[in-house]
Amino acid sequence: MGNHLSDAMKILESGKLESEQGKERRKLSWKEIPGPLQGDGQDVVSILQLVQNLMHGDDDKQGQRRMQYVAEQGHMALLGHSLAAYISVLERERLRKLTTRILSDTTLWLCRLFRYENGSAYYHEGDCEGLVKVCRLVINTQYEDYATEGFTMLSSKHPVIYQSAACRPGLGQHLCSQLGLPLSCLCIVPCNTMFGSLHQMDVALLDKLIRDDRESGKVPLLLIANAGTPGAGHTDKLSRLKELCVQYNMWLHVEGVNLATLALGQVSSAVTAATKCDSMTLTPGPWLGLPAVPAVTLYRHEDPALSLAAGLTSSQPVEKLRALPLWLSLQYLGHDGIVQRIKHASQLSQQLLEHLKTLASIKTSVGELVFIHLAVSSSGGSVEGYFAGDVLDALNRWLGEQLVQQVPLSGVDVVELEDEGTCVRFNPLMTAAALGTQENDVAALVEKLGEMIPVLSCTLRFRQDFKDEVLQQASLSYIEDLSWPGLGGVRYEPRTTDLDEDKRQHSVEKINSDLLKKLMELDTDLYFSGGPEFCEEKNGIFIGMATEDLDVAELVETIVSIGRDIEESGKLFENMTEIVRRGIQEAELQLQKANEEKLMEEGVFRQIPLVGSVLNWLSPVQASVKGRTFNLAEGCLDSTEPVYSVKAQMNKEASLDSPKSITKRFPGQKLFRRQGAGSDSVSDTSSVNQLEESFREAAHVQANDAEEAEVPQERHVHIVEETALSDQRVPEGQETESVDTLR
């Protein structure tokens, strides 16, 4: 069985997807759409190939594989599921003995590992399932006739379940739903508002709530406390809570990631108090990197009959096999291996906290979980007054997303906390064992933070300067989008006022689209974008992160200059049809007038083909040829004589990539950079290149879309080149042909 599992895992983890022919065959056979079961059956390899295709079918589109590597201890857990199915077919008596031994061993090991003496264990798949069974046990204990009378026992004296406001979202509602209780039986206890941690349960207020409920005839049933809140990783005052529960005859249940540290030699007194609780829920799967192992609820109760009635124990041997994957994995790791993995995760947290002390502009929390929150202040005073709230949340969200992409093995993620807002969470107890996080990954995380924090600080400081500069320009409008992690947004507004709303909107859209394309082509480290995907403001240009040496004034002037050139070129293109039509009419009139003047000058006889040739041979006429050129800018015909005198001016270059507003730059200095802004300018620029490299691909796609719209300058040059042909002198007798050519 182990060999078959190993072979199957090799196929699934090999990364060898099916060939192109296989893909085409699969498309034709509609394998991705549910269909009837095949009659002839399939071999194991074909079935595993189908599973692999379903697991990794979209990897070629995403560009990378997202599957987590399964280590040796993980293979033991997977083998346990196969063995459980195999063992279930044994003789009943032999199955009973085997499952009892597996359940007893696993329970004993876990109770000793996590210092929970004389405890029983319930193994379950969902994290909340054990708590639901514990609530049923407490109801059966508090209401003696509940087994026979049912819900009628609860109608006269309503039970009350207390939980912290920092508990998992939806936990209390799930309990009431599973137990058939109204939501009025759930009491949310606020966290401390004046003293202590903002994430710890307010013990004094809890005491008052319990006394009020008892006076109103209710039955305080159970209290759910945290040893590591899901959001911030804080531990409630478990010792004081246990005293309250003993005083009011309540059941105390504890859950949280910090319970893993009970396996260590040195544990904080706040977490050690959890060993005195009535029940606790452990999740050894993520703590130890074990896939598909059950969660465990340890509890103490003296009446096995009530435990059986609540569903915490079962007389069915097959249900006891849930502990088999964990039984195998714990033996494979051993006591020392389990402790080492939890200790390693705790050391990673301490290592990160020590390194973060050297970084400015961030706030952290102390504990097994590390939360990083941007809190920038400048030399001129705190900027949190203006930039508080959504802007800081957007920057912290961008910081977390960049860290997830650039240091994936760190296991960081982005969370929303009620008081701090958006934070970056480092929770190695839940991720390190599965991802294989090491000290060098933490060092890489700190290095990236050291690169990103100065960029975030500069961006935050320049946001107001950028807004002020934009508001001073009549042709620009500032876009206030607090969710954008960058300098801000701007829109170029055409100066034309004689257009209706639809035409004006189309003009704004086209100008800003061309302007964005031009800005993206500039030699600069700044990131330009069309804005967030769900931005309410349309036709905007959003600028990304900034560095210390950014010249905000030059940036805004460049945007205005390029936008003005695009607007003027667009006007010329819009009027091109009318200009060319009037020019052709004028050319026809002038050519007709020239023919009449020639007739008057040479006479009628010279226009007769045969006679004209003889007269021209006997008495040649020195006729002057008058060339014409079509001036698109003025929409009129001019003589070619000034053109030949200033022909050199036709080669003058005009490029939008170097606007007139851009100041003189030194060799190697990119656009919008102030010379001598500081010795850190080069390093800041390089960090922006690394941070915003992931955005360039999206920007390239937008550039390709913008290329579909023709650039007015290119059309202008094309027309000038065509009209330059008309600058040639028109030979005698070919004036009509020149008219046709002009047409």
288 occurs within a structural domain: yes
Structure tokens at 445: 């995380």
Q: Which two tokens stand for residue 394?
A: 């957007």
In terms of Cβ atoms closer than 10 Å to its own Cβ (0-12, 13-18, 19+), residue 434 is buried
Burial class (CB in 10 A: 0-12, 13-18, 19+), 667: exposed
Indicate whether 418 belongs to any domain: yes
Can you give 247-311 as a three-state secondary structure string? HCCCEEEEECHHHHHHHCCCCCHHHHHHHHCCEEEECHHHHHCCCCCCEEEEECCCCHHHHHHHC
Question: Could you tell me which residues are beta bridge partners of residue 364?
Answer: 372
428 plus 475 within the same structural domain: no
Q: Is residue 207 part of a domain?
A: yes
Question: Of 456, 472, 499, at which residue does a domain stop?
Answer: 456
- What gap in Å lies between CA 89 and CA 83, rounded to an integer? 10
Q: Which structure tokens are listed for 528?
A: 């330009």
The answer to whether residue 261 sits within a structural domain is: yes
Confidence of residue 352 (pLDDT cuts 50, 70, 90): very high
**442 and 564 together in one domain:** no
Q: 267: which residues sit within 8 A by CB, 6+ positions away? A: 261
Residue-level pLDDT at 66? 45
**330 plus 427 within the same structural domain:** no
Q: How far apart are CA 83 and CA 95, in angstroms?
A: 12
pLDDT (0 to 100) of residue 263: 95
**What's the average model confidence in pLDDT over 108-117?**
96
- Position 281 scores a pLDDT of 97
Confidence at residue 3, expressed as pLDDT on a 0 to 100 scale: 76
User: At 630, is the pLDDT very low, low, confident or very high (cuts 50, 70, 90)?
Assistant: low
For residue 137, being part of any structural domain is answered with yes
The pLDDT assigned to 388 comes to 59
Q: Is it the case that residue 727 has pLDDT exceeding 90?
A: no
Identity (one letter) of the amino acid at 487? L
CA contacts within 13 A on the Cβ side of 327: 22
Same domain, yes or no: 195 and 329: yes
Domain count, the chain: 3
Q: Residue 28: pLDDT above 60?
A: no
- In 134-275, the DSSP E strands lie at 159-164, 186-189, 219-226, 251-255
What burial letters (b/e) apply to 543-568, b meaning 16+ CB within 10 Å? bbbbbbbbbbbbbbbbbbebbbbbbe
Q: Is the pLDDT of residue 603 over 60?
A: yes
Predicted pLDDT of residue 404: 93
The answer to whether residue 112 sits within a structural domain is no
Residue (of 362, 424, 325) closest to 76 by Cα position? 325
Tokens standing for 17?
């997807």
pLDDT for the residue 703: 44
Question: For the ranges 27-36, 150-159, 284-293, 400-409, which has the lowest average pLDDT?
Answer: 27-36
Q: Is 53 exposed, middle or buried (0-12, 13-18, 19+ CB in 10 A)?
A: middle
3-state secondary structure 407-435: CHHHCCEEEEECCCEEEEEECHHHHHHHH
Same domain, yes or no: 272 and 412: no
pLDDT digits (tens, 9 = 90+) for 251-282: 999 999 999 999 998 999 999 999 999 999 99
Q: Which two tokens stand for residue 356?
A: 């973060």
Helices first, then strands: H and E counts in the chain: 30, 19
Mean pLDDT along residues 714-742? 37
Instruction: Note the pLDDT tens digit of each residue in 551-579.
Output: 899 999 999 999 999 888 877 666 676 67
Closest by Cα among 547, 453, 537 to 491:
537
Question: 500-509, 597-606, 655-664 — which is least confidently predicted?
Answer: 655-664
pLDDT interval class at 58 (50, 70, 90): low
Which residue is it, tokens 């293109």? 573
Q: What is the spatial distance between Cα 57 and Cα 437, in angstroms, rounded to a whole number?
A: 28
Residue of 471 and 646 predicted with greater confidence: 471
Q: What is the largest CA-CA distance in the chain?
A: 140
* Residue 207: band (very low, low, confident or very high) from pLDDT cuts 50, 70, 90: very high
Structure tokens at 227: 């040893």
pLDDT for residue 358: 85
Give the model's pLDDT for residue 740. Answer: 37
Q: Do 327 and 211 reside in the same domain of the chain?
A: yes
pLDDT at 412: 92
- 541 and 407 in a common domain: no
Is residue 530 a part of any domain in this protein? yes
Closest among 353, 349, 348 to 363, alpha carbons compared: 353
The sign of the torsion formed by the CA atoms of 249, 310, 274, 413 equals negative
pLDDT of 664 reads: 56
| Domain termination site, one of 573, 591, 624 | 573
Task: Indicate if 164 and 293 belong to the same structural domain.
Answer: yes
Over residues 12-35, mean pLDDT: 56
Rounded Cα distance between 609 and 243, Å, is: 126
* Mean pLDDT, rounded, for 118-129: 93
Boundary of a domain, candidates 539, 573, 607? 573
- Do the beta carbons of residue 594 and residue 735 sit within 8 Å? yes
C-alpha 547/C-alpha 430 separation (Å) is 35
- Rounded Cα distance between 517 and 504, Å, is 20
The tens digit of pLDDT for each residue in 422-475 reads 889 999 999 999 899 999 999 999 999 999 999 998 998 898 899 999 999 989
Query: Is residue 289's pLDDT more than 60?
Result: yes
pLDDT at 495 over 60: yes
Give the separation between CA 227 and CA 275, rounded to whole angstroms: 11
Q: Could you tell me which residue, 642 or 98, shows the higher pLDDT?
A: 98
Residue 570 contacts residue 562 (beta carbons within 8 Å): no
**Residue 227: CA count within 13 A, CB half-sphere:** 29
| Sign of CA pseudo-dihedral 316, 317, 318, 319 | positive
CA 67 to chain centroid, in Å, comes to 19
Q: Looking at 169-173, 299-303, 480-484, 582-586, which range is the least confident one? A: 582-586
| pLDDT at position 728 over 80 | no
String of DSSP letters for 464-481: HHHHHHHHT-TTEEEE--
Specify the higher pLDDT residue, 724 or 602.
602
Strands 120-124 and 636-639: unpaired
pLDDT above 90 for 339: yes
Residue of higher predicted confidence among 388 and 466 = 466
Amino acid at 520: M
For Cα atoms 695, 698, 700, give the angle at the middle one, nearest 5 degrees. Answer: 110
CA-to-CA distance for 12 and 702, rounded, in angstroms? 37
Least confident residue range of 16-20, 192-196, 528-532? 16-20
Distance, CA of 164 to CA of 186 (rounded, Å):
11
Give mean pLDDT, residues 291-295: 90
Residues 392 and 314 in one domain: no
Using one digit for the tens of pLDDT, what is the confidence trace for 150-173?
Answer: 888 888 889 999 999 988 889 999
How high is the pLDDT of residue 718?
39
| Percentage of residues of the chain with pLDDT beyond 70 | 71
pLDDT at 604: 65
> Cα dist. 193→163, 231, 630 in Å?
16, 17, 80
Plot region of 468 (φ>0 → left; ψ -120 to 50 → alpha; else → beta): alpha
**Residue 287: CATH number of its domain:** 3.40.640.10
The CATH number of residue 509's host domain is 3.90.1150
Out of 116-130, 426-440, 678-692, least confident range: 678-692
Question: Apex CA 300: angle with CA 294 and CA 303, to 5°?
Answer: 110
If asked whether residues 510 and 443 sit together in one domain, one would say: no
Rounded average pLDDT over 228-232: 83
pLDDT at 537 exceeding the cut of 80: no
DSSP code of residue 194: S
pLDDT in the model for residue 39? 77
Tokens 């309540």 sit at which residue?
Answer: 250
* 138 located within any domain: yes
Long-range contacts of 704-712 (CB under 8 A, 24+ apart): 706/513, 706/514, 706/516, 706/517, 707/517, 709/510, 709/513, 709/514, 711/514, 711/569, 712/566, 712/569, 712/570, 712/572, 712/573
Task: Copy the structure tokens of residue 329.
Answer: 């994995």
Task: Give residues with Cβ within 8 angstroms of 176, minimum separation 6.
Answer: 161, 182, 183, 185, 186
Domain interval for residue 496 = 461-573
> Would you state the pLDDT for residue 235?
92
Same domain, 233 and 310: yes
Phi-psi region of 619 (alpha: psi -120 to 50; beta: other; left: phi over 0): beta
CATH number of the domain where residue 372 is located = 3.30.1360
The pLDDT score that the predictor gives to residue 197 is 67
pLDDT mean across residues, the chain: 78
Q: How far apart are CA 217 and CA 213, in angstroms?
A: 6
Q: How far is CA 261 from the centre of its chain?
A: 32
> Which pLDDT does position 379 carry in this prediction?
36
pLDDT tens profile 397-408: 999 999 999 999
Q: Are residues 276 and 411 in the same domain?
A: no
pLDDT, average across residues 184-207: 85
pLDDT of residue 133: 96
Least confident piece of the model among 531-535, 539-543, 660-664, 736-740: 736-740
Residues above pLDDT 90, as percent of the chain: 39
- Choose from 387-396, 411-420, 428-437, 617-626 the range with maximum mean pLDDT: 428-437
